[in-house]
């Protein structure tokens, strides 16, 4: 086959491929903007990308905690019907209880989980300031930050989690 | 094992040739003419293989009157009321709920929708399908929104695949066999035929950025459950599933739509799917960095396990299904692999000393339940039944010892229903005692 014929054949294949791709989709997705999604867009990335504006301290967090969290997580976050948020056993057994202090690798995960799933009966009712404050309260109880530290989009991602470097990606080829 | 003397072709007796120790028989014994299997284990009233009927046959009352009115949506017979899921939190207390599939009472390869396992972290939401929306945004040329009606106009695909919780079978990390049934040990896996829209079609429509590596999937449930999925998987065989075994998804399985990622950890296959955000790094969500990151014996932990690796277990006989009398039985079970198609299942009746090839029920599908069967003549003595599976990607189901060597085992005995660790896919062993009782054992 000549080069010309080859390229003509390749072009035909490409055109056919494009036709099939177009034919496969009725293209009915309604165009929207990022602003339209803003109310749903809870995604915070590991480096702190997309953390919302706002701030909070441990002292402010203690007040919110007493109102909205203590019923399940107990006085001073030491555990009630649901798990303790302070301390944690050594990871000396495969069934060790995983806690914020002994296991969680990213400070953003604490903010993210409180914001999306807590408090249990009324998820996504806390203000961003309240979530920052609760995060500060839990971090301070675990001595990951000082009592006076303010948590916000700049400071929170810099909190050093003790277990951060103890993870192994199980199947890197999948990524 | 001493091979039988070879008989002439067409000789029915050849079907009974042993192929491994302690009574495992050639697969032709399953298909041979005139061979009755004492398969009604534990169900009561198993007919004797040899005797005549004890009483003369007579008409029963249900044959002598008109039957019940039909129901618009039919339910199983009232005699099957025990065939239900085990619930971990039946009162809906403020913690996760689990409902486990009764594999020991099912057969074939498809899990009925009412018995498909469910895990719900904050209850099942009641979603109005007309108001549900799916958005795709982030690193795309054009963010898009879809309704159920618009998705219904896309070309549909149907595929059968299993879904398994990453914590399924975790009790086998216990240093001693936990005495419970196959439902409590392995009930967090099910298999269904799913129909929906290929996710790659929607991502192409949105114009996905070629440099993006991750997709964050999020549900419309109370915890807005969120997982980070490799874009590679999203563009491969991911589906927005709308139908489960021919009908709309069950509420516990993601109604009105879920992300289906064949072969991946169940929790990644986000139910009540409402948002897909294309990003350049993972979200490091609670479930990916905590719950489904198993601790290793050296104190480190695996993250991004994703794959549900090759596994098999025997469903009949199994604990609770007592053998009534010595004789011919069918050993039957389920094999599946998140990395491919099952190519071989071997069964042992002597705790792994000898193995025979089980018959695989066609069709054998990629990343789906494969039913295996093996004829077995139980001599009334002790036996240890095991199964082991192979897939077409070259993966072999590990022995329990192999798992323990790399993943360790617990220091304390976990409670039934507990999750001491995740991703156990080793061999399960059933010990059959002289009285026909079946127990969970290690061998």
Q: Which residue has the higher pLDDT, B196 or A19?
A: B196
Dihedral over alpha carbons B140, B141, B147, B153 (to 10 degrees): -110
The beta-carbon neighbor of A116 closest among B93, B223, B407 is B223
Distance CA B419, CA B406 (A): 18
Tokens of B240: 């927005």
| Mean pLDDT for the stretch of residues B29-55 | 50
| Local structure of residue B265 (DSSP, 8 states) | B
Whether residue B391 is found in the same domain as residue B338: yes
| 3-state SS assignment for residue B381 | coil
In a domain, A13, yes or no: no
Q: Do A43 and B218 touch (CB under 8 A)?
A: yes
Q: Which has the closest alpha carbon to B148: B272, B256, B273? A: B256
The terminus-to-terminus CA distance of chain A in angstroms comes to: 40
In a domain, B87, yes or no: no
Pairing of strands B359-360, B273-279: unpaired
Whether residue B260 is found in the same domain as residue B346: no
Kindly provide the ipTM of the predicted complex, given to two decimals: 0.89
Whether residue B152 is found in the same domain as residue B197: yes
Distance CA A82, CA A79 (A): 6
Over 90: is that where the pLDDT of A14 sits? no
Write out the E strands in B222-352.
Answer: 226-230, 239-244, 247-248, 258-260, 273-279, 301-303, 311-316, 327-336, 342-348
- Please report the DSSP string for B51-84 in residue order: SPPSS-----GGGSS--PPPPSS----GGGTT--
| Mean pLDDT for the stretch of residues B398-424 | 97
Instruction: Tell me the pLDDT band of B44, cut-offs 50, 70 and 90.
Output: very low
Chain B residues inside the 8 Å CB shell of A24: 155, 201
pLDDT for res B7:
43
Under a CB-based contact definition with an 8 Å cutoff, are residues A33 and B135 in contact?
no
In a domain, B56, yes or no: no
The terminus-to-terminus CA distance of chain B in angstroms comes to: 20
Residue B437 is part of a domain; what is its CATH number? Answer: 2.60.40.650
Distance CA B248, CA B261 (A): 18
Whether residue B214 is found in the same domain as residue B330: no
Q: Which has the closest alpha carbon to A111: A15, A173, A47? A: A47
B 312-331: CB under 8 A from A: none
Q: Do A94 and B407 touch (CB under 8 A)?
A: yes
**Cβ of A173 under 8 Å from any chain B Cβ?**
no
pLDDT for res B9:
47
pLDDT for res B1:
40
| Mean pLDDT for the stretch of residues A24-36 | 93
Q: Do B154 and A28 touch (CB under 8 A)?
A: yes
| Mean pLDDT for the stretch of residues B156-162 | 98
For chain B, the 3-state helix, strand and coil shares in percent, each to the nearest 5, are 15, 30, 55
Q: Do B284 and A40 touch (CB under 8 A)?
A: no
Pairing of strands B311-316, B18-20: unpaired
Chain A residues inside the 8 Å CB shell of B142: 29, 31
Over 80: is that where the pLDDT of B162 sits? yes
pLDDT for res B50:
52
Q: Do A94 and B283 touch (CB under 8 A)?
A: no
Region of B304 on the Ramachandran plot (φ > 0 left; ψ -120 to 50 alpha; else beta): left
Tokens of B299: 């104190």
Distance CA B400, CA B249 (A): 35
Element (H, E) at B370: strand B370-378
pLDDT for res B28:
72
Instruction: Tell me the pLDDT band of A19, cut-offs 50, 70 and 90.
Output: very low
Buried b (16+ CB within 10 A) or exposed e, A83-119: bbbbebeebebbbbebbbbbbbbbbbbbbbbbbbbbb
Q: How many domains does chain B have?
A: 2
**Cβ of B154 under 8 Å from any chain A Cβ?**
yes
Tokens of B237: 């065989």
Distance CA B30, CA B10 (A): 15
Residue B209 is part of a domain; what is its CATH number? Answer: 3.90.420.10
The beta-carbon neighbor of A43 closest among B145, B205, B277 is B277
Q: Where are the alpha helices (DSSP H) in B76-162?
A: 148-152
pLDDT for res B12:
53
Beta bridge mates, B160? B193
In tens, the pLDDT along B264-309 reads: 999 999 999 999 999 999 999 999 999 999 999 999 999 999 999 9
In a domain, A82, yes or no: yes
**Cβ of B305 under 8 Å from any chain A Cβ?**
yes
Whether residue B149 is found in the same domain as residue B283: yes
Residue ranges making up the domain that contains A92: 42-166
* Residue in chain B lying closest to A39 (CA): B275
| Mean pLDDT for the stretch of residues B116-128 | 97
Q: Do A21 and B303 touch (CB under 8 A)?
A: no
In tens, the pLDDT along B80-119 reads: 999 999 999 999 999 999 999 999 999 999 999 999 999 9
Residue ranges making up the domain that contains B279: 134-291
Distance CA A44, CA B283 (A): 6
Under a CB-based contact definition with an 8 Å cutoff, are residues B414 and B178 in contact?
yes
Over 80: is that where the pLDDT of A170 sits? yes
In a domain, A36, yes or no: no
In tens, the pLDDT along B53-87 reads: 678 999 999 999 999 999 999 999 999 999 999 99
Distance CA A161, CA B19 (A): 56
Q: Do A167 and B301 touch (CB under 8 A)?
A: yes
| Mean pLDDT for the stretch of residues B253-264 | 98
A 91-150: CB under 8 A from B: 91-96, 98, 103-106, 108-109, 112-113, 116-117, 120-121, 123-124
In a domain, A2, yes or no: no
In a domain, A35, yes or no: no
**Cβ of A165 under 8 Å from any chain B Cβ?**
no
Q: At what angle do helices A128-141 and A58-68 cross, to 10 degrees?
A: 100
Lowest average pLDDT, out of A6-20, A89-103, A145-159, B245-259, goes to: A6-20
Whether residue B264 is found in the same domain as residue B223: yes
Q: Is the peptide bond before B395 cis (omega within 30 degrees of 0)?
A: no
**Cβ of B407 under 8 Å from any chain A Cβ?**
yes
In a domain, B359, yes or no: yes
pLDDT for res B13:
54
Tokens of A80: 């009630």
In a domain, B63, yes or no: no
Buried b (16+ CB within 10 A) or exposed e, B115-124: bbbbbbbbbb
Q: What is the mean pLDDT of chain B?
A: 93
* Residue in chain A lying closest to B300 (CA): A166
pLDDT for res B65:
97
| Mean pLDDT for the stretch of residues A18-24 | 47
Over 70: is that where the pLDDT of A140 sits? yes
In tens, the pLDDT along B340-383 reads: 999 999 999 999 999 999 999 999 999 999 999 999 999 999 99
pLDDT for res B51:
54
Over 70: is that where the pLDDT of B399 sits? yes
**Cβ of A80 under 8 Å from any chain B Cβ?**
no
In a domain, A134, yes or no: yes
Q: Identify the sign of the CA torsion A137, A142, A144, A145.
A: positive
Q: What is the mean pLDDT of chain A?
A: 90
Residue A93 is part of a domain; what is its CATH number? Answer: 1.10.760.10
Under a CB-based contact definition with an 8 Å cutoff, are residues B280 and A107 in contact?
no
Q: Which of B258, B291, B324 is a domain's end point?
A: B291
Number of A to B CB contacts under 8 A, please give it: 196
In a domain, B321, yes or no: yes
Under a CB-based contact definition with an 8 Å cutoff, are residues B115 and B87 in contact?
no
* Residue in chain A lying closest to B147 (CA): A29
Chain B residues inside the 8 Å CB shell of A28: 146, 150, 153-154
Q: How many domains does chain A have?
A: 1
| Mean pLDDT for the stretch of residues A145-149 | 97
Under a CB-based contact definition with an 8 Å cutoff, are residues B174 and B410 in contact?
yes
Whether residue B285 is found in the same domain as residue B321: no
The beta-carbon neighbor of B304 closest among A25, A103, A170 is A170
Q: Do B224 and A117 touch (CB under 8 A)?
A: yes
**Cβ of B405 under 8 Å from any chain A Cβ?**
no
Over 70: is that where the pLDDT of B394 sits? yes
Tokens of A153: 């989009």
pLDDT for res B368:
98
In a domain, A26, yes or no: no
Whether residue B285 is found in the same domain as residue B324: no
Cβ partners under 8 Å of residue A158, min gap 6 = A107
* Residue in chain B lying closest to A172 (CA): B304
A 14-73: CB under 8 A from B: 21, 24-34, 36-37, 40-47, 49, 72
Whether residue B205 is found in the same domain as residue B345: no
Tokens of A82: 């649901």
Distance CA B334, CA A129 (A): 51
pTM across the whole model = 0.91
Q: Is the peptide bond before B317 cis (omega within 30 degrees of 0)?
A: yes
Cβ partners under 8 Å of residue B324, min gap 6 = B38, B41, B42, B46, B436
Mutate to test the interface with B, among A21, A24, A29 (most CBs of B within 10 A): A29
Pairing of strands B239-244, B189-198: antiparallel
Distance CA A136, CA A56 (A): 7
Cβ partners under 8 Å of residue B221, min gap 6 = B120, B121, B122, B123, B124, B125, B271, B272
∠ CA A86-A87-A93, nearest 5°, is: 135
Whether residue B276 is found in the same domain as residue B373: no
Over 50: is that where the pLDDT of A47 sits? yes
CA atoms within 13 A on the CB side of B3: 5
Instruction: Tell me the pLDDT band of B15, cut-offs 50, 70 and 90.
Output: low
Q: Do A32 and B144 touch (CB under 8 A)?
A: yes
């Amino acid at each position: 086959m000549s080069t010309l014929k080859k390229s003509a054949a390749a072009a035909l294949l490409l055109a056919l491929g494009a036709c099939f791709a177009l034919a496969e989709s009725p293209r009915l997705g309604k165009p929207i903007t990022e602003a339209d999604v803003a109310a749903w867009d809870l995604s915070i990335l590991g480096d702190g990308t997309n953390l919302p504006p706002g701030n909070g301290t441990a002292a402010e967090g203690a007040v919110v905690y007493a109102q909205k969290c203590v019923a399940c997580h107990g006085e001073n976050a030491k555990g009630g019907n649901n798990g303790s948020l302070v301390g944690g056993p050594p990871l000396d057994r495969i069934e060790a209880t995983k806690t914020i202090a002994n296991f969680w690798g990213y400070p953003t995960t604490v903010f993210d989980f409180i914001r999306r799933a807590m408090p249990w009966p009324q998820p996504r009712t806390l203000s961003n300031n309240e979530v920052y404050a609760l995060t500060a309260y839990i971090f301070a109880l675990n001595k990951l930050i000082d009592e006076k530290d303010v948590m916000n989009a700049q400071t929170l991602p810099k909190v050093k989690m003790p277990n951060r470097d103890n993870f192994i990606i199980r199947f890197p080829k999948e990524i | 094992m001493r091979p039988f003397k070879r008989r002439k072709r067409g000789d029915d007796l050849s079907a009974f040739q042993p192929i491994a120790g302690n009574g495992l028989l050639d697969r032709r014994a399953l298909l041979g003419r005139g061979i009755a299997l004492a398969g009604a284990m534990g169900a009561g009233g198993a007919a004797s293989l040899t005797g005549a009927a004890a009483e003369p046959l007579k008409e029963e009352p249900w044959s002598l009157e008109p039957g019940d009115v039909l129901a618009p949506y039919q339910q199983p017979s009232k005699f099957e009321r025990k065939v239900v899921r085990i619930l971990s939190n039946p009162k809906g207390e403020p913690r996760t709920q689990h409902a486990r599939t009764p594999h020991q009472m099912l057969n074939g390869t498809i899990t009925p929708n009412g018995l498909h396992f469910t895990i719900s972290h904050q209850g099942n939401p009641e979603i109005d399908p007309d108001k549900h929306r799916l958005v795709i945004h982030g690193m795309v040329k054009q963010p898009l929104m879809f309704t159920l009606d618009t998705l219904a106009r896309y070309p549909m695909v149907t595929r059968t695949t299993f879904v398994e919780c990453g914590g399924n079978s975790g009790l086998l990390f216990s240093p001693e066999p936990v005495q419970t049934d196959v439902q409590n040990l392995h009930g967090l896996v099910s298999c269904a035929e799913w129909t929906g829209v290929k996710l790659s079609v929607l991502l192409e429509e949105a114009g996905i950025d070629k440099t993006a590596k991750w997709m964050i999937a999020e549900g419309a449930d109370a915890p807005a459950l969120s997982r980070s999925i490799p874009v590679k998987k999203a563009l491969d065989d991911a589906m927005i599933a709308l139908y489960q075994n021919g009908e709309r998804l069950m509420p516990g399985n993601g109604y009105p739509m879920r992300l289906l990622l064949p072969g991946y950890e169940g929790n990644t296959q986000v139910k009540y799917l409402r948002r897909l955000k294309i990003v350049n790094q993972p979200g490091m969500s609670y479930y990916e960095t905590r719950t489904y990151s198993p601790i290793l014996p050296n104190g480190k932990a695996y993250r991004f396990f994703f794959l549900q690796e090759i596994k098999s277990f025997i469903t009949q006989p199994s604990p609770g299904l007592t053998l009534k009398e010595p004789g011919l039985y069918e050993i039957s079970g389920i094999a599946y692999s998140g990395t491919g198609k099952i190519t071989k299942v071997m069964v042992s009746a002597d705790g792994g000393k000898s193995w025979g090839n089980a018959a695989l029920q066609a069709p054998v599908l990629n990343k789906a339940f494969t039913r295996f069967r093996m004829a077995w003549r139980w001599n009334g003595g002790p036996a240890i039944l095991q199964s082991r599976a192979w897939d077409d990607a070259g993966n072999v189901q590990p022995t329990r010892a192999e798992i323990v060597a790399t993943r360790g085992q617990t220091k304390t005995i976990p409670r039934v229903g507990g999750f001491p660790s995740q991703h156990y896919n080793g061999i399960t062993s059933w010990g059959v005692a002289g009285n026909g009782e079946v127990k969970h054992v290690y061998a």
